Structure 1
């Protein structure tokens, strides 16, 4: 155990935060990262061309490296850029990834590294994500893996994929599998990336004692039937496209058929349930599904 602890103390961490027009939450996020009981070595923020004063704030924020994009390249593009920058300018062992509305508890990082000290071949470790009422954040529940309970008594659940809301990713995994796919733009980039890490043979765990708050406006999942905003409805095209791609590339024929069936079943649900913009929603579902079979972005690797 002593050797494990010594190894953990040598592990350095760079926090990578992606932000877009959430300056107040970004301030809170950075403050929480800086107050960790186990300090981070570096903080890197990717600003997706915010228009709310984020640029000026980051210029004056000590201990933060900032990358400012000249356009909004989405969360996927932001995380891809941030991780690439991390590999390029830092030698840290781990990249701690989060959105700007992620508020980690004081011991969040320490608990992740405590877990890492007793594990081998770590790809990523995911925190326990809660909403503002302390209930589990619906959009951030990880997918368990086969043998999920092998270390449950230690507060560790083996998982195969998780969201980009406080996950600790090893440098070794990044160098082996490459970057998140920037072309995903939004929705599904974290699922594809963490699943890619799992498929590469790394061990990945949910760490129950590593607590983090996700300050989303509402604690709800993705549901096109309930959407009324046309701009948000458009996101489902991207989401469906990305889901088909991920299943094609990483889960094979059974995965694709299962995902395709979900999309097919969704069409009559939209048609017969009470909701607005039915025909447009059906068009978006079909378009995203079809394009997903031809969508082939190239994975970028870093040295």
Structure 2
């Protein structure tokens, strides 16, 4: 029987989390699926582990392409090489409840992407779609295309799911509260390396300056967000000099529309 749902799990150097996510996905009550793990060139034993699995398809990238590149390749895989009707998208830190996919499948239609009730590790809930279990019909993907792999990290999910699918193409996004899952990791002060500030600043500026319609309200919101991020570095973060350096490089590149993988997450080197 051909699978109805293609599951895309993007991972990078988080083998312990990936094992839990795969356990949860493979135990779903709806199991007419093909599960694909997109590995962003992990170095923590992930590939040896994946080699031991017979029920999981693998897409082993030769470099770390970030979440943007990982989901680009995973969605492309199912859109061009498979006959699935839907893709179910998640990071390696999303733990779906056993009936999550079954509930989503019963709620979806060809003009609607659906997403579950998400509880964060710190008990905050999310009511917008993201890389935590959103289910998208292939028919929608064939209309809107794939995620922007040039963003590499940060805002690539909101660009694709909120700005493009829901905003530009006017497809519906339905929150299915009966479908549940846990997003296990969370942002914490002083635990974010400098390179993350580069991509957050650059992609925020690029999206709000060049992908969305500029209005007075949005311009003020952009300035406020930029100042808030700068203030958080100055007041809350350690290693301020490196983080400020990446913040201002991200500011410059965002204004100049320089996208792509510009800072390596491992070395911190700016290309």
How far the C-alpha of 1:233 sits from its partner, in A, is: 2.0
How far the C-alpha of 1:274 sits from its partner, in A, is: 5.3
Of 169, 180, 183, which aligns to 2:147?
180
1:77 matches 2:69: yes
Of 293, 297, 302, which aligns to 2:255?
293
Residues 297 and 112 of structure 1: CA distance in aligned 2, closer, same or farther (over 3 Å): same
Trace 1:113-262 onto structure 2 (pairs within 5 A).
113-116=105-108, 121-122=111-112, 124-132=113-121, 135-136=123-124, 141-143=126-128, 162-195=129-162, 196-198=164-166, 199-216=168-185, 219-220=186-187, 226-227=189-190, 232-254=193-215, 255-262=218-225
1-structure distance, mates of 2:61, 2:94: 21
How far the C-alpha of 1:207 sits from its partner, in A, is: 1.3
1:113-160: CA deviations, max 9, x gaps? 2221xx5611x2121112346x235xxx244xxxxxxxxxxxxxxxxx
TM-score w.r.t. structure 2 length? 0.84
1:211-246: CA deviations, max 9, x gaps? 112222xx446xxxx3265xx122111111111222
2-structure distance, mates of 1:259, 1:32: 38
1:173-228: CA deviations, max 9, x gaps? 21111111112111111011112101211001121111112222xx446xxxx326
1-structure distance, mates of 2:249, 2:127: 27
Residues 256 and 42 of structure 1: CA distance in aligned 2, closer, same or farther (over 3 Å): farther
* Secondary structure at the counterpart of residue 146 of structure 2: coil
- The count of residues paired between Structure 1 and Structure 2 equals 255
Q: Which runs of 5+ in 1 are unaligned?
A: 1-9, 144-161, 299-303
Given that residues 17 and 44 in structure 1 are in contact (C-alpha distance below 8 angstroms), is that contact kept between their aligned partners in structure 2? Answer: yes
Q: What does residue 158 of structure 1 align with?
A: none
2-structure distance, mates of 1:233, 1:36: 38
Of 13, 17, 27, which aligns to 1:35?
27
1-structure distance, mates of 2:226, 2:134: 29
1:260-291: CA deviations, max 9, x gaps? 332135435644x3543444433333322231
* Secondary structure at the counterpart of residue 115 of structure 1: coil
Greater Cα shift, 49-58 or 69-78: 49-58
Q: What does residue 264 of structure 1 align with?
A: 227
* Secondary structure at the counterpart of residue 24 of structure 2: helix
Given that residues 126 and 168 in structure 1 are in contact (C-alpha distance below 8 angstroms), is that contact kept between their aligned partners in structure 2? Answer: yes
Residues 56 and 209 of structure 1: CA distance in aligned 2, closer, same or farther (over 3 Å): same
Q: Which runs of 5+ in 2 are unaligned?
A: 261-271
Q: What does residue 81 of structure 2 align with?
A: 89
Trace 1:15-54 onto structure 2 (pairs within 5 A).
15-54=7-46
Greater Cα shift, 180-189 or 286-295: 286-295
Given that residues 18 and 100 in structure 1 are in contact (C-alpha distance below 8 angstroms), is that contact kept between their aligned partners in structure 2? Answer: yes
* Secondary structure at the counterpart of residue 180 of structure 1: coil
How much is the aligned-residue C-alpha RMSD, in angstroms? 2.4
Residues 48 and 266 of structure 1: CA distance in aligned 2, closer, same or farther (over 3 Å): closer
* Secondary structure at the counterpart of residue 227 of structure 1: coil
